[in-house]
Amino acid sequence: MPLSRHALSDAAQRFGTPLYVYDDAELTAARRRVQQAFGTARVFYAMKANPNLTLLRGFAAAGLGFECVSLGELARAEALGLSGERLILNGPAKSDAEYAAAARLGATIVVDREEEVMLLPPGSRVLVRVNPSLTVSTHDHLATGTARSKFGLTPEQVPGTLNELRDAGHEVLGLHVHIGSAIEQAEDFTAAFARVTALRSQVGELGVLNVGGGWQSNADLPGIAYEAHEAARAFGAELWVEPGRYLVAGAGWLLTRVVGTKRTGRNFCLVDAGMTEFLRPMLYGAAHPLYPMWDALATEIWDVAGPACESGDLLARGVPLPTPQRGQLLVIGEVGAYGASMSSSYLSRPRPAEALWDGQEWHLIRRRATTQETGAAEG
């Protein structure tokens, strides 16, 4: 863990817990790994992974575009001055307002179903999303390229949809494929690229092939990049990629304090963060590394439980920890993606603050919500 105990303890003391913290050096390192591996490919950050404006500002300054999936995300990109070819609008159920905003900003729109041909603003610049109908190595909720997922067109629907888009006066750039998040096996990308390139004989040359993202933090990026470029070359196309999780996950930590312990059928380490601050363990069964900021002679097996009145509000199950005491600091790793972005005000709990470490000092980049903002001011 690159951040020191002293720096983490200082952040918790200054800003309170639960608290999300990010390391600017790791954000930069992850971006550079992607740009080095994929070379000439155009990189769009998948904003849903973490939409904090400070992080977005850094990516924008580095030349990245943004893939947006909501009106609010388009608004964030616009607030940073982005438009045109640096924006993509994606999603399976776009609203009229989202179409209108994309048209006003000149964003590329990803067509996700056949009927969108008649819903698009006139003269839209588009990509057509292909669902390769593969079984992929990730949680079902994270798999977007399976036959039963709600995303994309079947390969059989693609050629006709491309022709309909051209006939309707839209600018067809090419194809889009994204098979999911946190893909465990590189072979899944190989299979997906093969399904897409099989369309070459039916659709001809294209301007763009967008292969999405979904790479694990330890993925063989040069190997995946090579195959992605080969797939793009099959169409004579420029390669686009859309990393989200990869760029931010490893740069984020969640700081939480021990509230107490409980010994019933299991040993529970009770902490002040839970499903409202960090939903991934409950939603996906995700396991994240834990770093206890205390030392003790005895180590036991604990479930780390949050404060919500929900039996599923567990941040970890069956993990070894030094015997915890009230007030001690526990750090949860690899939470920079879909951590703060999925936090909620369920139970009228204030959403947590976020802070950025620049190598020398902390900067508060999102203040903690107040109880008035989470319910008391309604009506």
Q: Which residues form the catalytic set? A: 309
CA distance 17 to 352: 8
Q: Give the pairing type, strands 42-46 and 65-68.
A: parallel
151 vs 6: CA distance, rounded Å: 45
Chain centre to alpha carbon of residue 138: 14
How many of the other CB atoms lie within 10 Å of CB of 96?
A: 9
Residue 374 gets which letter from DSSP?
A: I
Q: CA torsion, points 243, 254, 313, 304, in degrees to nearest 10?
A: 120
Write down the residue that tokens 């904090």 correspond to. 52
At 108, give phi and psi (nearest 5°).
-75, 135
Interatomic CA distance for residues 220 and 37, integer angstroms: 9
| DSSP-assigned beta bridge partners for residue 263 | 267
Report the alpha-carbon distance of residue 143 to residue 365 in Å, rounded.
31
Q: Are 114 and 153 in contact (CB under 8 A)?
A: yes
Query: Per the structure block, which two tokens stand in for 111?
Result: 């067509």
* Residue 139: both structure tokens together: 């949680």
Rg over alpha carbons for the chain, rounded to the nearest Å, is 22
